[in-house]
Every structure is written in C-alpha cells, then in structure tokens.
A and B are shown apart, each in its own frame.
Chain A
Amino acid sequence: MISLAGVVTASALLIALAGCAADAPVSVDSTPVAGGTLTYATGFGEPTCLDPHVGGNMPQALVGTNVLESLFSQDESGAIVPWLASGATVSEDGLTVDVALNEGISFTDGTPFDADAVVANITHMKDPNTASSTAILALGKVTSVEAVDPLTARFTLSEPDSALQESLAQTWLAMESPAGLARGMDANCEAPIGTGPFVFSEWVKQDHVTLTRNEAYNSAPAGAAHSGPAYLDTIEWRFIPDTATRFAALQSGQVDVIDEMQPDNVVAAASSDQFDVLTGALPGASIRLELNSGYAPFDDERVRKAFIASADVNPGIESLFFGTVDRSYSVLSTSTPYGASFEDDYAIDTDKANTLLDEAGWTSRDSDGTRMKDGERLVVDFPISTNQSIPAEQSLFEQIQATTKEVGFDVELHPLDLSSWYAALGSWDFDVTSAIYTKNSPDVLRILYHSDNIIPAPSGYHPNNAHVSIPELDALLTEAGETSDAAVREKDYAAAQKLLADGAYVLPLYDHLQKIGYSTTVQGLTLLPTLQIPYFGDTWVQG
C-alpha cells in the first residue's frame, strides 16, 4: 500500500522539477561555437552559373553573397556602408567617382584585391561575351574604370548616377579574382573566386553546392557581429523545389535553414519553440499589378480606374496570407527609401467603377454580365508567372477576378511557366500582370516607369510593363537619378509616385518578403539589408 503522504510528496517533487525545467533558460548559449555544418535548402532554384556577373538573378545572389563580396553594403535604412571599399568621392560635376579600397584583402586564390581587380571586374561585367543582364544594366552610365593607384579605382560616367554605390552593393556586381575570371566562362561559372567568409568547394549539379570556410577571412561588412573567419566549417546548399518538402525537411531536422516559406508555414514555424522565422522586405518595387496602358482596354484611364476601384484585395490578403504580409499602397517596398503611400487612390468604390465604365462606353452587358463596347467584350488578359507568384498570391488573383467581375470585367487568368510568361510580356500580349523587380535603390522607379524602358532590350525584355509614357514623369525620374541632393531626390520621387497613383497605372499589393525559416539551434543568422540575403559569416550551430 502506498501512503497518501508518499503520493503527495512525489507529486510535489514532480511539480518542483517541472518548475525548474520551465525556469531554466531554453539553453541558448550566446557564446559562438566554431565548427559544424549547416544545411540550407533553397526554393529559388539552381543557378545555371555561379558567377552572378553572368545573367544575374536571385538564385545566384543567394548562394553567392557569402562567397563573393561587394564594394559597398547597406544598413537597415538603406544608407551606404563600407565593405571592400571604405568610401567614395564624387566630383563636382558628378561624372567622376573615386572609390577608395580597403587594404590587406586577398581573394581566396591569393590574388590581392586592389584597383586593378576592380577594373578587371567592371570590364568583365561590361563585356558582351559575359552575357550579363543585371550588372550591365546597373553600369549603364559607367563609361570606363581605371586604377589611379593600387587602392583607388576611378569610375568615369556619361551622366551623374545617384544610384552607383547602391548598384555596386549588389552581389551581381561582386568582386571576383581576376585570375579566376581569366580561366574563362565555363571554369568561372563552376566556382568563382571571391574574398568572402566561404569558398565554393563543390557543385554537384541538380543536388547541392558545398561552401567551406575561408580561414584567412578578414573583410566582414560594416555591421557584422565579428570580424575574422566564420564559425561554420561548411554550408551545404541544397535545391529543394517543392515548398511542402522544404518545410518538412526543416521540421524533421534534415535541413537547418529554408527560404521561400509559404504563409501557413511561417505561422506554424513562428508558433513553435523549435523554429524561428526571419523576414525582410526585399528592396525595389512592391508586389503590384501593372496595368498595360499601351493597349485597349487599359489605354483608357477611366477603365484603369474602374479596375482599381473594383479590385478588392484587402479581404484576400487577410484570409490567404494569415497576417504574414501587410497591404501596401506604395509602388516602392518599405525597405527602399523615398516610398510614398496613396491609400485614398486605391479605395474600393463599386459605384464609381460602374460610372467610369459607363462613361468609357462599356455600356451593354452580355449574358455572362461582362461589359461590351462595339461588339468587344471587356476581357482582361492576366498571365501569371507560376515561378514568381506563390499559391496564396495566385488565389488572391482569383479573388480580384471575382470582385472585378461584379462591375463587368472578364479577367482571364493564365498561369504560365517562366519562359512563356516572359514571352507574353515581351510581345505585350497581356492587359495586367504581376512582375517582381528587386533593386536596392529608389532608382527602380526609373527602370520600371521611364518611357525609355518601354523599348524592349534585344532579348525582348522591357521593364516598363505598365507602358507608362509621361514626359513629366520621365523628367522627374531622370533628375532624381542624377542628383546627389537628398532633398531634390525626395521631392522628385514623391511627385513621380503621385503621378503613377493619379494615372492608375499600378495597383500595389504588399511587400515582396524574404521568408527564412530556421531551427533554433542556428544562432547569429542575419539578413544583409542590401538584398535581404542570409549572411552566414556570424552564424553558428549549437551542438
């Protein structure tokens, strides 16, 4: 027979023990531990070339940032901070920029980092045979670069460029070993050589890239928690295209860090004590609908305004994204300076939409309720890139389809793979679309809405998908892109965004979020503000 007293004592003991366990810190040791492997699973896809000068997309920047470093970095406010360069001096006329380089840095093949290396890199990016798209566009105003002395690289420009240092902070314009570049494109694509905390040591195509620690690392960006070599021995960079598998791999401990999380996974991970979520708004444009104003029916401002007044997106954002994103009323991302919000221009008003459509001549309706004008139905072609729009976003587009139907639009959604989608955009074969544009500068507005960028590149690509052509806007964007006066930039960008909102060319939806999920055993993980890319120079894994 067990005595009652015994049971009570035992219970008290258990409760006390439980109390102790709960009170103890969740064993977070703030002392970094050197060694270990971290497995990162990306959903952004596998680069076809690890050298981000070639082409220049997000998968390359993600895996490359911890190997290939840039001249500058940015802090959380978007301000330029030193990295491989300590600063820049801009001449009075804005046409000469002297970049001062830090001393004592070497590429991991032993080649010294100096002004000659900068010249070799910029020459490589501008060489047509490199087939750069992002870097060459960012260097559009740079006519030449020369080494004034070993630690000074002089950039000569055709026009002043207020975004030059921001451009140089992007991984797509990272510095690579000139000796590595000289190996030729195939060898350099396999394993470009940088100055970063890690080195590309192996690439098993369609499986993983292995990064190993650079023992001689001494060039951490401003804002890093420590200088000197990284803590991790290796990073295994895996390509896991399926979002559900990626999250399951994190949950089952197969991988330590994942990106491209879906909203429901973000909520599940954030509410668990085993996982944490790191989010950051990608700089550049917000995620937004671009209305093709160059062709019917959206060449009529009234029809554009009717579409925006009837496209009710807020309920969809609330129900489909589980509170993981906030509605945006700005064409610029919240992480990009000079963003301006115009909430009133995007208010829902069905009566106004109906009136506008009546005024525009879309007066009769067919049996489906779609408005008609001169025998034409009010059809809105909406190609969707399934690579860029996550499932929740595609559902949101369906809700937009439903709410605009009430006033008589027939929105036809066409989910397309990336090549077909770009082909549709290139031939202006769309009325509305959603296109991502990541750039760490408000100068993104010039790229997206200057009338010059209606003209397609030789590949057919044109960034100005809304077909915006307003001389006043062009002048504002050009001036803002050239001036180094912050007050003028602010005034110009505000006026430019007001013109876009008034003309109903764009419907902002929300920020494009980088959503990184990680196990709580991973410590010291941060996002580099420039492109919101994970930085592993300060990261360690608890045993």
Chain B
Amino acid sequence: MAGRVGVRVLGGVFVLWAAATLTFFGLRLIPGDPAQAILGGPGSQASAEALAAVRAEYGLDQSIWVQYVQYLGRLITGDLGSSYSLRMPVAEVIGAQIGGTLLLAALSLAVAWAIALGLATWSTRGGRVAGAVASGLEIVAAAVPHFWLATVLVLVFSTTLRWLPAVSTPGPAGLVLPVVTLALPLAGFLGQVMRESVLDALASPFVVSARARGETESGVRWRHVLRHGALPGIALSGWAFGWLISGAVVVETIFARPGLGRTLLNAVQLRDVPLVIGVVLVVALGYVLMTVLTDAASRLADPRLAQPGATGRRVADPVLTPSGGSR
C-alpha cells in the first residue's frame, strides 16, 4: 500500500515537472519578448535602458538554461514568482481566480453527470427508438464546440428571451449559461459510455440472477446496473476535469467571467511566463488530484477493485465488457 502511494506521488511530481518544463520552453519558442510584457505589452517603444534594466532584474539576459534552472529552483521552494503583466505575486492572482473556475467546473461536472445518467436510464428503458434518439443527442452534444454553443445560448436566452444575463454576474443566474455551455458537450461524452455500459450490465448474468431472486426493476437498476453504468463515467471524470478547464478558457472569455481560464488566455497573449506556468501547474495539480479521486470513487463503486493485489486498470476491463457476445 505504501509503495502504491509512493508511486502515485512520484507520478504526480513527474507530471508537474513535465508541465512546468514544457510550458517554460513552449513559451520561448513562440515569437514575442517577455521583457515587453513587463514594459507595457507588445509594441511598446521602451528605451534601451529600460529594456536592459528589466532583462537584468528578471534574469532574462541569462541563457535559457540558467533561467530554467533558476526557475525550477524557485518552484521547488514554492515560489511561483510575480506576474509580469498584473504586477502581483502569481500565487495571489491564482488565489483570487481559482474559486470561480472550480465552482464552474464542479457544477458543470455535476450537471453533466445528471444529464448523462438521466439519458442513460431513460433510453435503456425506452426500447430501440429511445436508444437511437439518445445516441443521436449524445453525438450532437459531444460534437458541439463551446464557443458556438455559448453564442447560441446568449442569443436565445439573453438577447431574445431576456431570461438570463449575457455577462456572468456574481449571483446564481449568471452561472446558468456558462454551466450549461460546459455541461452539455460533456454530458454527450459521459452519456455515450454510460449507456453502453448500462446496456451491457442489463444483459449480464448477475442481473438475471438478481431478477431471479425477486429484485424489483428499480432495485435492479439502482443497486446493480447503475454501479456498472457509472464506472466508465467515473473513470472519464478525471479526464473531464482537464477538458472542463480548457473549456473554461472559452466560456470565461465569452461570458466575461473572472477565472483561471481567462487569466491563462491573457497571460499567454502577453507572454507573461510566470503566470502561464503558475496556472498550468495548478491545473496539472488539479488533474493529478482528480485522477486519485476518481480512482478512489471507482473503488467505492466497484468493491472488487479494493481487493488485495488488484490494480485499477486490470480489473476495469472485464467490468466494461462483461458479456461481449450478448448484444
């Protein structure tokens, strides 16, 4: 057990290091001078003295490898540095912006789950037509890009019907459109995998035996089928977190909602290296934590995973395909 935790922690540290390194070098490969971000943004006509002073102060006159090592050194001590463009410590910027994005992501994940479960349950009861309808809805939802969906929702619910604000406001009404924009495509993905898994479970021997024991239809569904149906959804939720954060870049920009996504976009455009890396690290950390959480959730939903010697991946496969030939 201790070994497993150790491997997990090491894996997490590796992910964080890789994220910081790729971002650091990636930002240097695209055109644009970080010194300009400090001196009033792109196109500034800063003097030679000012540029030299800034390069010396921020260590930008050193070789990229020296800068990289120095940067990693500071990261290890927990110092994320200071944002060039916002003139604030990166940790402070992230602290101010992370709440809104986490709330948005958590609500969207919850709404997506609710829609996906509802659709999976309804469609597997409603026969062939319902299955085809659900499948069609899921494919369309999963394929819709966020920017398009957001614009259409604004046109319908803000401009025409005037039910909801176009620009995100602090209250619950301001959250509805951003959450729906993020949740619908995700519900499409989750719904597809869950419905298949529910169908598989319904045809499996343990359901037959549960029915033979006299279990009611809802008992079969809630106690047995749902657990199986939810497993791939849980596994997908770790991935969904990263996907929601990337969606937040678009959604926060369109709905003018403060948050990490909008911060990241601005920071990349201004070549604000410390802020970009700071946000990327926080998102990577969130991704690592979500993976651990979904792993734990899978164990709760599927007690077989908790048995000694079992590892998540090996046992998950037979669960996903309990009776391949029955369909």
Contact = CB atoms under 8 A, between A and B. Distances in A.
B45 A137 contact: yes
A289 to B, nearest CB: 18
Contacts of A49: 40, 87
Interface in B28-72: 30-33, 35-51, 53-54
Interface stretch (B159-167, B184-192, B276-284, B316-324): B159-167
A457 B46 contact: yes
A46 to B, nearest CB: 8
Interface string B124-162: 000000000000000000000000000100110011001
Nearest to A189: B87
Contacts of A244: 151, 154-155, 254
Given A131-B39, A242-B253, A422-B32, A206 B44 contact: no
A128 B87 contact: no
B7 interface: no
B40 A54 contact: yes
B158 A252 contact: yes
A48 B167 contact: no
A420 B166 contact: no
Nearest to A46: B266
Contact of B154 (A245, A420, A459, A460): A245
B49 A128 contact: yes
A243 to B, nearest CB: 10
B85 interface: yes
Given A419-B32, A458-B51, A55 B151 contact: no
Contacts of B287: none
A240 interface: yes
Nearest to A55: B40
Interface stretch (B205-213, B214-222, B255-263, B293-301): B255-263
A533 B54 CA distance: 32
Residue of A133, A242, A254, A419 with most chain B CB atoms under a 10 A cut-off:
A419
A136 B158 contact: no
Contact of B166 (A54, A204, A248, A422): A248
Interface in B213-264: 253-256, 258, 262-263
B269 A205 contact: no
Given A56-B40, A242-B253, A133 B46 contact: yes
Given A248-B154, A418-B43, A48 B270 contact: yes
Interface in B14-40: 30-33, 35-40
B87 A136 contact: no
Contacts of A460: 33
A239 B256 contact: yes
B167 A245 contact: yes
A260 to B, nearest CB: 13
A251 B156 CA distance: 12
A424 B33 CA distance: 12
B40 A207 contact: no
Given A56-B40, A133-B46, 12 more contacts: A133-B45, A205-B96, A206-B266, A244-B155, A248-B166, A249-B167, A251-B159, A251-B166, A253-B162, A419-B32, A419-B37, A459-B39
Q: Which 3 A-B pairs have the closest CB atoms?
A: A55-B40, A419-B32, A423-B31
